[in-house]
């Protein structure tokens, strides 16, 4: 087996995505290696979220080829997407059950990751009793707890005030050092990117343009 290919978590070849007559992007190529963090910038409505959904298998491209060799994928959406009838603890624990965890062990691990997101003491609160920023941190804990090989971040720090945003970003980066996940992080603002970002692109209708 080619060792270089074995390092690749994700490869996009000449992707195009259109909705009716609207072309979001065309000629898009991208490779992501293990432990690599890629930032994708661009204004709202230009296809950043769609790009992540294609990577996750939730949306099919109009043209092009995709290769994903990641196994477990973690996904942080712009909105927390928590189940309102479950506590913060059980929202995270539920994501672990399909991976073979018992309920007891899933709750132990969920508590650990909620603690890492600064939510110690709020494990038994329901989403309706938490602030928007706290719910977003629950969703980040949920994505990290499954030990993803590929982590997809869609504006993950939305709703967090600047000081908390920096703290959560640092906590997330510390977890990523341990999990060795590859990351695609899309955002409209460069200052939102993690300090350990390896490559930065801007998404345009003509594909990804390398940045700083």
| Whether residue 129 sits in one domain with residue 88 | yes
| Whether residue 192 sits in one domain with residue 161 | yes
| Whether residue 62 sits in one domain with residue 8 | yes
CATH code assigned at 190: 3.40.50.300
Residue where one domain finishes, among candidates 115, 145, 175 = 145
H or E element at residue 67: strand 63-68
Model pLDDT, residue 6: 65
- Is residue 192 in a domain? yes
The CA distance from 101 to 144, in Å, is: 15
**Phi/psi at 41 (5° precision):** -105, 160
| Whether residue 154 sits in one domain with residue 132 | no
- Is residue 170 in a domain? yes
- Is residue 193 in a domain? yes
> Which residues are CB-contacts of 98 (< 8 A; sequence separation ≥ 6)?
none
Q: What is the pLDDT along the chain (212 residues), one digit of tens a residue?
A: 344 456 789 999 999 999 888 899 999 999 999 899 999 999 888 899 999 999 999 999 999 999 999 888 999 998 899 999 999 999 999 999 998 899 999 999 999 999 999 999 999 999 999 999 999 999 999 999 999 999 999 999 877 888 888 888 888 898 888 888 999 999 988 988 998 899 999 999 999 999 86
Domains contained in the chain, number: 2
Residue numbers of the domain that contains 6: 1-72+147-212
Kind of pairing between the strands at 37-41 and 199-204: parallel
Model pLDDT, residue 1: 39
Indicate the burial class of 7 (C-beta count within 10 angstroms; 0-12, 13-18, 19 or more).
middle
The CA distance from 96 to 26, in Å, is: 36
H or E element at residue 17: strand 8-19
Q: What is the value of pTM for the model shown?
A: 0.93
Model pLDDT, residue 175: 86
| Whether residue 137 sits in one domain with residue 168 | no
């Amino acid at each position: 087996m080619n060792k270089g290919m074995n390092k690749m978590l994700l490869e996009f070849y000449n992707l195009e995505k259109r909705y009716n007559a609207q072309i979001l992007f065309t000629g898009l190529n991208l490779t992501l290696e293990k432990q690599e963090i890629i930032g994708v910038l661009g204004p709202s409505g230009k296809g950043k979220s769609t790009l992540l959904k294609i990577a996750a298998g939730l949306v099919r491209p109009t043209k092009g080829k995709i290769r994903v060799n990641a196994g477990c994928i973690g996904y942080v959406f712009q909105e927390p997407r928590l189940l309102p009838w479950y506590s913060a603890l059980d929202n995270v624990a539920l994501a672990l059950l399909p991976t073979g965890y018992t309920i007891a062990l899933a709750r132990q691990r969920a508590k650990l990751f909620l603690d890492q997101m600064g939510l110690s003491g709020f494990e038994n609160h329901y989403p309706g009793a938490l602030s928007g920023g706290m719910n977003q941190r629950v969703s980040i804990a949920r994505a990290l707890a499954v030990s993803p090989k590929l982590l997809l971040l869609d504006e993950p720090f939305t709703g967090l005030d600047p000081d908390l945003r920096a703290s959560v970003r640092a906590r997330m980066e510390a977890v990523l050092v341990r999990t060795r996940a590859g990351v695609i992080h899309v955002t409209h603002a460069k200052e939102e990117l993690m300090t350990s970002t390896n490559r930065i692109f801007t998404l345009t209708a003509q594909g990804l343009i390398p940045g700083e």
